[in-house]
Amino acid sequence: MRLKKTLFACTLVLATLNPSFAQDAAGHPAWPGPGQLFAGTNYQPVDRSLEQVKRDVALMKQSGFKVVRMGDLSWDYFEPEEGKFDFRHFDAVMDTVHAAGIKVILDIPALPAPMWLHHKYPGVDIVNQAGTRLAPAERYMDNNADPNYRRLAIRMADTLTKRYAKHPALLAVGYTNEIGNSFMSYSEADRERFVAWLKKRYGSIEALNKAWATQRWSRRIGKWDEVRLPYADGPGPAERYLDLRRFWSDMTLATLDDLEAVRRKNTPDKPVLSNYWDWADRKGFDYLGSYRRHTTYGAMGFYAGDPVHGGWQAALIKGGMTSPTWFNEFTAGGPGSYGSKGWSRMWAHFVLLMGGQASLAWTFNSHLGGEEQALMGLIDHDDRPSWKLGEWAQIASDYAKLEKLGFPRRVEPKVAIAYSFENTAAHSANGPSNSSRAYLKTSYAKQAEGAFEPLLRDNIDVAVIKLSYEDLSRYRLIILPGMYLLDKASTEAVRKYVADGGTVIMTAQSAKVNDNNQWFATPLPGGLTDVFGLRTNEFYDWTGTMKIGDEEVKSTIAHFEVLEPSTAEVLSRFSNFDGTPPALTVNRFGKGRAYYLATPAQPQIMRPLLRQLYAGLGIEPGPQTPDGVFARAVEGRVLYVNTNHAPVDIPIAGAMKGVLGGQRWDKTLRLEARGVELLERQD
């Protein structure tokens, strides 16, 4: 065993030092691996003199920080005039950080674009739906489809990465902070790019007219010049809205492809750790259908208000990856909020349960001005360290202990929840012409979290995946919650998965529209009636009561579908409707089983259904915990996190010792509000 551990450690060292030694299938460096956790912070040296930087870095080192993220949002700090770069201050910052033994995530600041770029190249300005050109008053008001923007962003990335490629402090690179939260634009050049995109996608005006159902309401397009950009804020038919979102997703991905090409050229041995915010309402992009093109490890800004929402986002950014997740921005204080003691430490351990490897506080220095004025960091506005710096030092100390005990934990879920960027767009089409919003009533996000919540509370790992992008055979159960738009590729993936022996659960409001966001002209669920052994066309705005096993449950969302089974077996019926129509069915298809739930996914309904399936599918729940307490077993120990704002008593098996607190416990662990502990067997 000792020899195996030695060989494994050598492998990790070689993988880090020799970029040709370990590359994944997409050409990304396979780095760093188990046995390392990172606590650190985000830092904006543009605000700080060199003397202040030295004091700040000394405090970071004293606090046990291993990593700092810098460079984001600072294009004109590096390039104050077009083609004139100035790295003198940042060179000194990098050297100071290195001297303290701290590593750097260098975030390429391709957004926001500098003011000089906007003035010289007005194509980078955002034009709103009314045709008004907008001044770049807010960050992210840059048109990343503009060719001058892309050209200059590539030059910035190339210059920056060449300069620091061999710097000993450089650990990883990031791309364009929160690129998913940027703006769509409506200039004539954007319209022309959209038309070119449509030509590539559809090939002919006839195909476009069919895809957009333009025969309705006299909206037939006679030639390409008649095409206009659809309005994101409505009104407008759903088909066009979906293509608008797809177009801007592809423009965003083109930018990321540009930056990834630069990384592969200049820093091929460094991983990509980017906070993309791909699910942002403003724009977003298809991250789960593209991450192998531009990402090494999932990374995100973590500002959880509750464990279900925070856990869902942590799973969403991980996708089908088994590598650890980096939380590049992490809740510390906020606008109008100084912070709550124990809050950051609680979440820093919660993300370890989700497969996290790093937590970086946002931010080190409180902001004096700008868009985040009065945002409270670890250092107060007068440069005095707050109690939060001490809490983050505690996080760093905790991480130093845990990285020797099986963390970061490798997450290999047996359960997956289906997600797609297109489905979120189909759920959010705006305007009076999009009556689908009246039909759906509840958002995809609410259904997805409704399916996720009982799994989280049962301490079960969950993957969030795009069906057509992953190897579905890795999962024993796949849930399709409110997959209103189910494209052809995903439909075929579900069919094959079930035929090969997989188990799926589909909920109401799924498989109603096709790739073009038009309702299927076939029995529903579209393309899968034989897989589920039923059809369902009728639906009503009522809440239903049913029994799942011995548990009576009631829907709280006023929507249910009338199921018409053919080969499906009825497992439960609504008790409060005439004729007691089916509420839950199962159908055998090939070697697998397909369950259909006649209501939207809701925790109180999904919980008993899932618990009936665990044993038969070989899905083992994690440690049993009270509400609001989450846990995972790691190498014979159990990490507990209490997200409640009150103490909780947790039953445990016999005598145990707390690794973090040092206290011994017998049969009951008491965790204080927002408390954490790793328990191991008492000697």
Residue 429: pLDDT over 90: no
Q: What is the pLDDT of residue 26?
A: 53
Distance in angstroms (rounded) separating the CA atoms of residues 103 and 273: 13
Distance in angstroms (rounded) separating the CA atoms of residues 500 and 476: 11
| β-bridge partners, 634 | 637
Q: What is the pLDDT of residue 428?
A: 85
Q: What is the mean predicted confidence (pLDDT) over 317-329?
A: 95
- The string of pLDDT tens digits covering residues 511-568 is 999 999 999 999 999 999 999 999 999 999 999 999 999 999 999 999 999 999 999 9
Which region among 55-64, 210-219, 306-315, 366-375 has the lowest average model confidence (pLDDT)? 366-375
Q: What is the pLDDT of residue 435?
A: 67
For residues 527 and 511, the answer to whether their CB atoms sit within 8 Å is: yes
Q: Average pLDDT, whole number, for the chain?
A: 93
Binned at pLDDT 50, 70 and 90, residue 442 comes out as confident
Q: Which residues contact 466 (CB under 8 A, 6 or more apart)?
A: 286, 288, 289, 319, 418, 419, 420, 421, 490
Classify burial at 468, counting beta carbons within 10 Å of its beta carbon; exposed 0-12, middle 13-18, buried 19 or more. middle
Q: Which residues contact 20 (CB under 8 A, 6 or more apart)?
A: none
Q: What is the mean predicted confidence (pLDDT) over 268-283?
A: 96
Distance in angstroms (rounded) separating the CA atoms of residues 231 and 252: 18
Cis peptide before 408 (omega within 30 of 0): yes
Residue 510: pLDDT over 70: yes
Determine which helix (DSSP H) or strand (DSSP E) holds 388, and give its type and residue range: helix 387-402
Backbone φ and ψ for 74, nearest 5 degrees, come out as -130, 35
Binned at pLDDT 50, 70 and 90, residue 10 comes out as very low
Q: What is the pLDDT of residue 34?
A: 57
Q: How far is CA 142 from CA 78, 111, 193, 358, 472, in A?
A: 18, 7, 16, 30, 38
Q: What is the mean predicted confidence (pLDDT) over 565-593?
A: 97
Q: How far is CA 607 from CA 523, 553, 603, in A?
A: 29, 10, 6
Distance in angstroms (rounded) separating the CA atoms of residues 683 and 681: 6
DSSP, collapsed to helix, strand or coil, labels residue 292 as helix
Binned at pLDDT 50, 70 and 90, residue 507 comes out as very high
Count, in order, helices (H) and strands (E) of the chain: 19, 27
For residues 591 and 500, the answer to whether their CB atoms sit within 8 Å is: yes
Distance in angstroms (rounded) separating the CA atoms of residues 419 and 442: 16
For residues 534 and 596, the answer to whether their CB atoms sit within 8 Å is: yes
- The string of pLDDT tens digits covering residues 230-248 is 999 887 789 999 999 999 9
> Using CA of residue 443, residue 449, residue 450, residue 452, what is the dihedral sign?
positive
Which region among 116-130, 148-162, 369-383, 453-467 has the lowest average model confidence (pLDDT)? 369-383
- The string of pLDDT tens digits covering residues 627-649 is 999 999 999 999 999 999 999 99
Higher pLDDT, 471 or 18: 471
Q: What is the pLDDT of residue 371?
A: 87
Q: What is the pLDDT of residue 433?
A: 59
- The string of pLDDT tens digits covering residues 117-147 is 999 999 999 999 999 999 999 999 999 999 9
Q: What is the pLDDT of residue 12?
A: 34
Binned at pLDDT 50, 70 and 90, residue 439 comes out as confident
Binned at pLDDT 50, 70 and 90, residue 29 comes out as low
Q: Which residues contact 325 (CB under 8 A, 6 or more apart)?
A: 297, 298, 299, 300, 314, 317, 318, 351, 354, 355, 356, 357
Q: What is the mean predicted confidence (pLDDT) over 146-170?
A: 98
Q: Which of 195, 288, 181, 307 is nearest to 240 (CA)?
A: 195
Backbone φ and ψ for 382, nearest 5 degrees, come out as -95, 15
First to last CA, the chain: 22
Strands (E), 363-461: 415-418
Residue 32: pLDDT over 90: no
Strands (E), 135-244: 170-175
Distance in angstroms (rounded) separating the CA atoms of residues 67 and 329: 12
Q: How far is CA 168 from CA 99, 145, 165, 171, in A?
A: 10, 34, 9, 8
How many other CB atoms are found less than 10 A from the CB of residue 281? 9
Q: What is the mean predicted confidence (pLDDT) over 648-671?
A: 97
Q: What is the pLDDT of residue 28?
A: 58
Structural tokens at position 634: 């790691």
Q: What is the pLDDT of residue 569?
A: 98
Q: What is the mean predicted confidence (pLDDT) over 674-678?
A: 98
Q: What is the pLDDT of residue 4?
A: 36
Task: Express as a percent the part of the chain with pLDDT over 70.
Answer: 94
Residue 63: pLDDT over 80: yes
Task: Express as a percent the part of the chain with pLDDT over 90.
Answer: 89
Q: What is the pLDDT of residue 236?
A: 76
pTM listed for this prediction: 0.94
Structural tokens at position 390: 């001490």
Distance in angstroms (rounded) separating the CA atoms of residues 151 and 149: 6
- The string of pLDDT tens digits covering residues 191-237 is 999 999 999 999 999 999 999 999 999 999 999 999 999 999 887 78
Q: How many residues does the chain have?
A: 683
Backbone φ and ψ for 485, nearest 5 degrees, come out as -100, 115
Q: Which residues contact 93 (CB under 8 A, 6 or more apart)?
A: 45, 50, 53, 70
Determine which helix (DSSP H) or strand (DSSP E) holds 215, and give its type and residue range: none
Structural tokens at position 61: 């080192």
